[in-house]
Chain A
Amino acid sequence: MSEVTRILDSLALGNPQAAEALLPLVYEELRKLAAVKMAQEAPGQTLQATALVHEAWLKLAGSQHLKFQSRTHFMVAAAEAMRRILIDKARRKRSQKRDQGGPRMELDESQIPQDSASDELIAVHESLDRLAQDDASAADLVKLRYFVGMTMPEAAVALAIPLRTAERLWAYARAWLRREIRSLR
């Protein structure tokens, strides 16, 4: 029995502290998997996050009889891990651009071609913790949808909530994050 499954079992038994230990393990697992994938694929290949997360889960659950809630725990942890991987990547990219941009950036930031997508990524990332404080499940949904790239039905299954509830939660989370990000600008 691997470390991850042990923790998942303990989580399922109602031990909330175990979640703290789960994240780094899943993070490592996903990084390893991603590295293998990247090596196989051609350079510059998009990371297929959803596939990656599912593959990691299958690797785990394929041989073990894990409790149903374990899947939700795992998915949430994997989404958080994915979020960190992507943010690291986006931050690295940003700093590269700044370096290339040189002194011009100091003069007028708007003149520099911005990668608006990674800006959105970082903005969402920064507001997401505040959303998690207000409504943890809304934040989990955003992680699964936005960072893992799950479809709405997939995310609803991962969180073990009805699809209709997931859709309403999504509407709320989007409006909330959008309001938050705009109020900061």
Chain B
Amino acid sequence: MNGGQSSPDSREKEIFLSAIDKATPQDRAAYVNAACAGDDKLKAAVEELLRNHVADAFLEQPATLIDAAAKAQRRKAAAAGSPFAPGELFAGRYRIVGLLGEGGMGQVYRADDLKLGQSVALKFLPPALATDPVWLLRFRNEVRIAREVSHPNVCRVYDIGEAEGEHFISMEFVDGEDLTSLLRRIGRLPQDKAVEIARQLCAGLAAAHARGVVHRDLKPANIMIDGRGKVRITDFGIAALADQIQGKETRAGTPSYMAPEQLAGTEVTTRSDIYALGLVLYEIFTGKKAIEGTSITQVERAQSRGAPPTPASHVRDIDPQVERIILRCLEPDPKNRPRSAMAVAAALPGMDLLAEAIAAGDTPSPELLAEAGESGSLPHWVAISCFVGVVAGLVTIIGFKDKTNLLLLVPFNKLPEVLAERAEQVSERLGYTNVPADKAYWFRTDPAVMRYLTNSPPASNRWQRLASGWPAAVVFSYRAASQKLTPQQPDARVRWSDPPFSEPGMRRMNLDTKGRLISFHAVPPKFSETKLTNQEADWSLLFREAGLELTNFNRVDSNWTPEMYCDIRVAWTGTHPNWPTETLRVEAGSFAGTPVFFELRGPWTKTPNPKPGNSQGDRPLYGTVLSVVWAVIFFAVLATAAYFARRNLFTGRGDRTGARRLGLYIFLLSLGEFATTTHAWVFWGNVTRAFATMAGTAFLTWLLYIAIEPSARRYWPHTLISWSRLLTGRIRDPSIGRDVLGGCFGGMFIKVLETVGGQLPQSWTGADPTEPFIPGRAALLSGGFHVVARILDGLGGAGGVMGIFLFLLLLRILFKRNWVTAVVFVGLWGIGIINTPSAPLAAWVWSFSWATIIVVTTIRFGLLALFVMFVSMGFIESFPATFDFSAWWAGIGIIGPLFVIGLASYGCWVSMAGKPLFKDEVLAK
């Protein structure tokens, strides 16, 4: 070799190193050509070097490991036997202590981790797995998932590695024995010990299932019990994999613990693990195998013979509760098995999972909450007396309200359709003959009339005045237009001035309940070709429609400015035949000989009296500041909620399913409500805006739920039990029934207090007990869609519930005790009343009892009851119910109470847990 001539070699190295930096072979060749510049020998040497610059194994395996690789080969060749000798060092880190066991998934050794100074178990994978990249990838994924399962009853998987040609898993070493050998040694376990082991098994399995890990090969051999009796489930995910990789071979090993659907090869779910769990429990409690057989066909035959012999046939004194749950686990149809391992644990004797979770400082999962201990069923007599109480309460409320029902006082026998026809007749007679393109009408109370009568001297019969129909306390409002009415408010309901009363062709009027005209407005045309005559309209027409005689009135100067343009304005004074003692003023105006303005003004009509000064100027600033403050509060709450929601989502604490369902529920309800009340489906802008609002509300609900619910679950879990069950769709659960019934009862009770309290003398309450009012929403009297909308609104719209619950939750987190929470809540509620200066004693008592009922309902029954309480209060107060069934609106009014009764009877029935109302022997007699 060219020993002394170092320069050619150093040039060779230089050119080589520069050449390998070139991106493409072409660049490389060109560079070498140029660099060697005619030196063919150098060029040949460099090209030879480049040809040898390949990525193969040459030199890459250190010589010190060559021995090891050869050893690994030998080990593979000698598949049988124990390849690792005790004391051997593996992968430079683990000293093998000894063989622990051998299964379908290869051998397991106990080893000392020299790096960490701990004992570990090493499981070596069979070569069949190690050579297939697809399975290797799946295997890694499974181990990755299994590593996420962190539970004291699940054997931890530490890592996966490859050394000396072997793929292996390092995992927690359990110093104990597996269940198979334990059972072989001592037969069946004593019942208390068996329950304890069963509980730990369920807890471990539930933790894995919560992470979406299915074991698929749960069997006594995969369950380790250490020296202190602590259970570890081993081979998570890995077992599943072995099953898939080695196909029938592995199955042949342990088919006797496979669920029927697993044997059949259909989908394997968490409920297949529940089946295996049932078999393991069977064995723990009886010491016998439920299904004998080692091959698939044997097991399938055994399974097809039907249920295994009952545990009681092996052990006579087995707890019937245990027997029932074991047999439920062994149902051939996965749907009939318990829905979760948690449910199995909950059914074991003496288990209070919730108490355990709280004691351990854990946040119970929604599933755990749904499965938690209490069954919540009520004894028959309690459920039925509550139901009877609800009905009796409703009867009381309606009975009392009938005494002051404004609708029963005024002449109220014309249907809204009849009055609408009457309104059209009035328009026609006044000269508006064109058929309107769109119209809307509704009932309302006239607050001015009510106020006037309240302030009039309290004669015993002052309210009787209303019975004559004049002054009109209940008013029928009607709007019509020659185009579609397109309201601007998001809910798209037509109101007196929405859409704005500005388009020619629009007209609106108020009628009293007898159909007499009270006021009439019409928008005059914007443009007219004919020469306008300044002639007066025929005013007597208007007077006739109002049920008055023009001749009985004296013409006076007009002093009310109408909203619309009039070329002539006139006014009269006189008296109404129904009320001859009070002066009635009539204002009217016409345009081009057609009346466009007509109003009756009694003494109840307030004279507008704008005060001079700059108080008007202050308001906008105040309003701006206030709205800015509200906006800041809103966004602060939103940001806080978003922060907590984000955290809860990342940590997996948020109840995604529950939040999604609740959000969807709210969205669908508001969608339904909008669809039934909107007047403007055709107006696309409204619809998109309404959709945005609804989606926003639903999203906010979702966000707040994700943000808040985990704290409630953590600090006040008892209030969420039935709520969680409802959100998981278990509508027949007794605890849901109990809380629905309790909520109905609470709502009814508050309303009874309110109604009966309203009967107290004025000196106590500050309110006249005889003052009549519409016992509900006047809008509902229009019937049809309005009723549907109100039902939907009532079902979802108790938005205050979440606020109250959040407030109670904060108090509860702060004060940690239910009774302190209750006292503070009631106290704070009272402060709100102290603020109102003229609050008499009754208001105090009323407010405190209100707060007490809320807090007691929440603490005793929980969020669901609170929610139902507000829903039922909403139904009771918004439907104008009456016992006078001759009234045309009685049918509408009774819907609310009937709804509450329906809710209560559902609650009553479900809370009795489907137990027959009468014992069989009673029926047999």
Give me the interface of A with B, judged by CB distance under 8 Å: 41-42, 44-51, 82, 86, 115, 117-118, 120-121, 124, 130, 133-135, 142, 145-150, 168, 171-172, 174-179, 182-183
Contact = CB atoms under 8 A, between A and B. Distances in A.
B64 A135 contact: no
Given A45-B89, A172-B16, A172-B17, A177 B62 contact: no
Interface in B67-106: 67-71, 85-89, 92
Given A46-B71, A171-B20, A175-B53, A142 B13 contact: no
A168 B92 CA distance: 29
B625 interface: no
Contact of A145 (B50, B53, B62, B66): B62
B59 A145 contact: yes
Contacts of A46: 64-65, 67-68, 71, 89
A40 B71 CA distance: 19
Candidate in B10, B66, B86 with the most chain A CB atoms within 10 angstroms: B66
Contacts of A121: 63, 66
Given A48-B92, A182-B52, A174 B58 contact: yes
Nearest to B96: A42
A116 B178 CA distance: 45
A121 B92 CA distance: 22
B94 to A, nearest CB: 13
B49 interface: yes
Given A45-B89, A118-B66, A179-B51, 8 more contacts: A45-B88, A46-B65, A50-B64, A172-B49, A174-B59, A176-B52, A179-B52, A182-B52
A174 B53 contact: yes
Nearest to A43: B85
Contacts of A145: 59, 62
A171 B53 contact: yes
Nearest to A151: B62
Contacts of A135: 9-10, 13
Interface of B: 1, 3, 6, 9-10, 13, 16-17, 20, 48-54, 58-59, 61-71, 85-89, 92
Given A45-B88, A47-B64, A146 B59 contact: yes
Nearest to A44: B71
A134 B2 CA distance: 9
A147 B62 contact: yes
A168 B14 CA distance: 11
A112 to B, nearest CB: 16
A147 B64 CA distance: 6
A86 B64 contact: yes
Contacts of A183: 48
A117 B65 CA distance: 10
Contacts of B16: 172, 175
A142 B59 contact: yes
A67 B9 CA distance: 33
Nearest to A37: B89
A112 B860 CA distance: 87
Nearest to A138: B13
21 contacts: A45-B89, A46-B71, A47-B64, A47-B67, A48-B92, A49-B62, A50-B64, A117-B70, A124-B59, A130-B1, A133-B1, A133-B3, A135-B13, A148-B64, A171-B53, A172-B17, A174-B59, A175-B49, A178-B52, A178-B58, A178-B59
Contacts of A182: 52
B59 A177 contact: yes
A49 B64 contact: yes
A133 B67 CA distance: 29
Contact of B63 (A42, A115, A147): A147
A165 to B, nearest CB: 10
B62 A172 contact: no
Contacts of B52: 174-176, 178-179, 182
Candidate in A42, A86, A145 with the most chain B CB atoms within 10 angstroms: A42
B66 A117 contact: yes
B86 to A, nearest CB: 8
A177 B85 CA distance: 38
A175 B50 contact: yes
A129 to B, nearest CB: 10
Contacts of B59: 124, 142, 145-146, 174, 177-178
A44 B58 CA distance: 25
Contacts of B67: 46-47, 117
Contacts of B50: 175
A49 B49 CA distance: 30
A179 B9 CA distance: 14
A168 B18 CA distance: 10
A173 to B, nearest CB: 8
A134 B14 CA distance: 13
A84 to B, nearest CB: 12
Nearest to B48: A179
B638 to A, nearest CB: 50
A92 B9 CA distance: 35
A168 B63 contact: no
A114 B632 CA distance: 82
B58 A149 contact: no
Contact of B49 (A45, A133, A179): A179
